[in-house]
Structure 1
Amino acid sequence: MKRATQPAGPPADFLAKMQALLPTGEYDAFVAAYDRPPRVGLRVNTLKISVADFSSIAPFPLAPLGAWEPAAFTVPDDTRPGRHPYHDAGLYYLQDPSAMVAAALLAPRPGELVLDLAAAPGGKATHLAALLNGPGGGAPASALSRTLDATGLLVANDVHAGRARLLAENLARWGAVNVVVTQDEPERLAAALGPVFDRVLLDAPCSGEGMFRRQEGIEWSEAIVAACARRQRGILAGAPDLVRPGGRLLYATCTFSPEEDEGVIAAFLAGAPAFALAEPPRFPGFDRGRPEWVETSGKTAAQLARAVRLWPHRFPGEGHFLALMERDGDEAGEPAGAFPRRPSSANEERLWAAFADEALSLELPAGRLHVHANRLYLLPRRAPAVGRAHLLRYGLLLGEFRPSRFVPAHDLALSLNAADAASAVSWPADDPRLRAYLSGADLPAAELPAAPNGWTLVAVDGFGLGWGKRAGGRLKNHYPHPLRRL
């Protein structure tokens, strides 16, 4: 029996289509999957904590998803992991297990230039940012100190303004430093940067058939499928203008229809002979593509079988299709020119230095500090020019200059741990003072360790959550109003 909160299931026309495509036994197993609730996936943020260390402090049971991503787990759906302070501190991201496979297959390496072309709300982008820094582990360190000297760069883009802002917020909570967030059309990005990316992810807008078990009210028809396929072909056609020779391109959808999956890839390969499907690693539940569902030649059909299909009756996640392609050649790319950094004025430099001396115990390189619209950013070590692309964020937002002071950004707090701050208060996750802080309350000095007045990092078990400012015998709460819990 379905739970009251579980979506009603796929529409009848869609089921009829799948029944025509799948063998009888497999179709029965596919339909039966909709009588089971979806899994809650959790991916550990290895920019902030190792998988082993998180496992030792996790407040709920963790079930590993597999060797394809050691940081990926499922958790019981009644544990409300999205309400735990560790989530507010960005120690993990809640994501459908199937959606985690995309970044794992694209497998960016440290030092590479990576593009997530349709990145909102940010699940795959946060995953790429973590993988760009390697497997994690080692001595405990904050996201900022761990990635300060890294040379890899992620460009995360979404064409819709509201979704792009949400993307920037999720990357900030993740503590991602070497990230550029843009809101632009793919062709404008290509014109600005060119075919320079080592890895490109296109999580294509699709009919969403794979999400029927998770979401109510998904409108579906064959006309919608056909419209999505046309749009996907148009977006994918621009990929050669972004992927360097020898680079890799991953096309992903959360849909089952071959028109949006094998059909789109077959059309792309016909028009882009420099690309071919790579054979990705195979793990339990990684089914192959179905070239027999589309009209194609023998050579292309053999390639389409290298794609990965994830089914809700074979894998602990929702429906996904993934095609990993490689461009022939081997020519490293690099955008033309460096980002035009605007250094601080003498007054701005003085205000920043006063804050950094008072509040931080780590030093940031002055040559990477950039001022825009009274805001101070830490540029990535690798900071290429982006031409006329519409920028939302370039690097890490450190804070804002006011007439006589510097106000630190919430983004900065989320990239730090208690050891990075000259003054910090750190409470356990279940401490009532932490609950009071997250609700927006000021805290009396009597409940705090002794320290001078000024900016103080508030942390949960050492991981940065936000800022407070000591004054007048109280810690004034600077936790952002939209995030406060009533």
Structure 2
Amino acid sequence: MGNIPAKFLAKMKNLLQAEYDNFMSSYEWPRVYGLRLNPLKIDADQWKQLSPMGENVRPVPWATEGYYYKEDERPGKHPHYHAGLYYIQEPSAMLPVELLDVRPGHRVLDLCAAPGGKTTQIAGKLKGEGVIVSNDNAAERTKALAKNIELSGVRNAAVLNEEPPALVPAFREWFDRILVDAPCSGEGMFRKDEGMAASWEKHSVERCTIMQRDILENASAMLAPGGLLVYSTCTFSPEENESQIADFLLRHPEFRVEEVRPPGGISPGRPEWIDAAASRELGADTTASLAGTVRLWPHLLEGEGHYAAVLRKSGETDSPRASLAIYEETQKEIVTPAVKRKKDKKRTEEARHARGGKSAVSEDDPISAWRKFAAEELQLDESAEAIHYGSIVYVPSVQLPSLDRLRVVRPGWYVGEAKKGRFVPSQALAMGLKRAESKRSISWNAESEEIQRYLKGETLFVRPEEMDIAQGAAAKGYVLVCVDGYPLGWGKYVDGMLKNELSSGWRQI
């Protein structure tokens, strides 16, 4: 508590008045910990039967797949974490996506997405249908964003690294749902992270409100008529919360607040905290509607401080786009081997950026190399279109606007790279597969020595009869290595030896 700025404490005392002492007592309480199951891979009943940890968790009231766990459980060290069966996430942070009402087939934008917790939550609700475009303006943060998407086995995500204004021309009124988990002063995280309190003056409320205003302005232009926008912060500041929404509604009368009826412990917004002049300009009814936004207070529930508002754009009622076409003909030039030298050089540079390093261009057609690999090693629907940036191959889930002028980290499911006439499958491909989609697989239980050795990057020795091999397939080739039936990565089997192909950045030290 000694690190909490006095200016902040005085402000909270003025706002909360009789509640202030209870609020301050929350800083002395132990933190709570949460994880969220990944419905792309497992459901609650399966997980509780599979993991002893399932007996010691409690549900998070406002999150369908959310659970509280005890600090000493250390779920991030368990092999099931490395299989993407769950994501470790602060419980309050699970609420905004629950309010977004995502359904299969929707086009969804997570505008300030890193490190990816909310993107993976959205992907679970899409159930593989539609698309999630996940963007962050900080290049260094997109690496963690892409990795968390891949760890969760998400196939239908595109990852971009842009400032919001750059996205508007490509995506104007394109999305059914938009999440703006805005950068903020972080007051709600002081209890969890002392560094947030120390940097509060640097990340001032005034500076944050300007950024939030600009982000909301661009987000509104990308939302389709009838769509939903959820704005959220992890701060208590009215300037960044109710006042920010009031200001937005003044500029955008085509939006309205959709009232949230939350479970117990979650509190209504505080319209009385907005500026009196803004309240008069808004009118009594619109001002009162701000009570339909929500606040999560750490002294009233098990979680950190958060705020969320659900905004509906006027127009026809949206409906899930269950059957979205694959890329338009104009986009298919990306897969053509005979691309012009200038465009090929550009794509090579984009591929280098996407991988965070160097990338060679194969003389062979990367798409043909991928098709050959898929036919020999996998049991996938081969009708899906593929694209390549240099030698790297992606499978996009749906038709997207042209990304040519945008900084692209992942234009779709990253499946691998063509190298010297052969195709090397990616870690992302392994994590996005079901076990039955690989022609060769092997599975050990989470407590086995083999799993521990595999996660450390060691070579293993196995007999062909220990593997599941599709009818007609040879034992030699790529093997999907699984824990309790869920993929962890690749191995390459030759003459009794399973060479470890787990990416170095994914190994357990």
Same fold, judged at TM 0.5 (above): yes
**Aligned 1:415-426 pairs, distance under 5 A:** 415-426=432-443
Paired residue for 1:371?
Answer: 388
Kindly indicate whether residue 6 of structure 2 is the aligned counterpart of residue 12 of structure 1: yes
Paired residue secondary structure (1:164): helix
Report how far residue 69 of structure 1 moved: 2.5
Residue in 2 aligned with 1:206?
Answer: 184
* Alignment partner of 1:215 is 2:223: no
Q: How do 1:332-411 and structure 2 match up within 5 A?
A: 338=328, 340-341=331-332, 342-343=334-335, 348=366, 350-365=368-383, 367-411=384-428
CA deviations 1:402-452 (Å, max 9, x no partner) are: 112111000011012322211111111111111001001111235982672
1:271-301 Cα offsets, whole Å, 9 max, x none, are 1111111112321122011111121232332
Partner residue of 1:139? none
Match of 2:60 among 62, 65, 70: 65
Q: Is 2:21 aligned against 1:36? A: no
**Secondary structure of 1:13 counterpart:** helix
From 270, 284, 289, the counterpart of 2:264: 284
Deviation by residue 1:335-364 (Cα, 9 ceiling, x = unmatched): 998371333758545533442233212333
Does residue 310 in structure 1 map to residue 296 in structure 2? yes
CA distance in 1, matches of 2:486, 2:2: 40
Aligned match of 1:48 in 41, 44, 47? 41
TM-score, structure 2 normalization: 0.86
Contact 2:366 2:417 in 1 (8 A): no
| Of 132, 136, 147, the match for 1:169 | 147
- For 1:453, the equivalent position in structure 2 comes to 476
* Aligned counterpart for 1:159 among listed residues 137, 143, 148: 137
Q: Does 1:82 align with 2:76?
A: yes
Distance 1:216 1:447, change over 3 A: farther
Change in CA separation of 1:331 and 1:446 when aligned onto 2, cut-off 3 Å:
closer
Aligned residues between the structures: 461
Aligned partner of 1:193 among 171, 184, 195: 171
**SS of 1:330's equivalent?**
coil
Aligned pair partner of 1:435 in 452, 456, 459: 452
Partner of 2:353: none
Structure 1: stretches of 5+ with no match in the other structure: 1-6, 134-146
Question: 1:222 and 1:165, CA in 2 relative to 1: closer, same or farther beyond 3 A?
Answer: closer
Deviation at 1:380, TM superposition (A): 0.4
Percent identity, aligned pairs only, is 41
TM-aligned CA distance change 1:433 to 1:112, over 3 Å: same
| Contact 2:257–2:293 under 8 Å retained in 1 | yes
Q: Distance in 2 between matches of 1:93 and 1:248?
A: 25
Which structure's residues are more often helix, by fraction?
Answer: 2
**Cα distance change on mapping 1:363 and 1:132 into 2, 3 Å:** closer
Contact kept in structure 1, 2:185 and 2:203, CA below 8 Å: no
Match of 1:246 in 2: 226
Change in 2 beyond 3 A, CA 1:260/1:353 = closer
Residue matched to 1:137? none
Q: Does 1:229 align with 2:220?
A: no
1:113-170, Cα deviation, whole Å (9 max, x unpaired): 111110110011111111122xxxxxxxxxxxxx3xx2x1111100110112211111
Structure 1 residues 387 and 241: CA distance shift in structure 2, 3 A: farther
Report the secondary structure of 1:371's partner residue. Answer: strand
Letter matched to residue 197 of structure 1: F
Q: 5+ residue gaps in structure 2? A: 338-363, 470-474
Mark the CA change 1:52 to 1:344 in structure 2 (over 3 Å): closer, same or farther.
farther
CA shift, 1:88, in A, is 0.7
In structure 2, give the amino acid aligned to 1:356: A
Shift of 1:110: 1.3
**Residue of structure 2 in register with 1:111 after alignment:** 105
**Aligned amino acid, residue 77 of structure 2:** R
Deviation (angstroms), 1:239: 2.6
Q: Offset at 1:33?
A: 1.0
SS at match of 1:22: helix
Cα RMSD after superposing both structures: 2.3
Question: Which shifted more, 345-354 or 82-91?
Answer: 345-354
Tell me what 2:255 maps to: 275
- 2:354 aligned residue: none
| Distance (whole Å) between structure 1 residues aligned to residue 395 and residue 449 of structure 2 | 34
Corresponding position of 1:469: 492
> Residue 381 of structure 1: SS of its match in structure 2?
coil
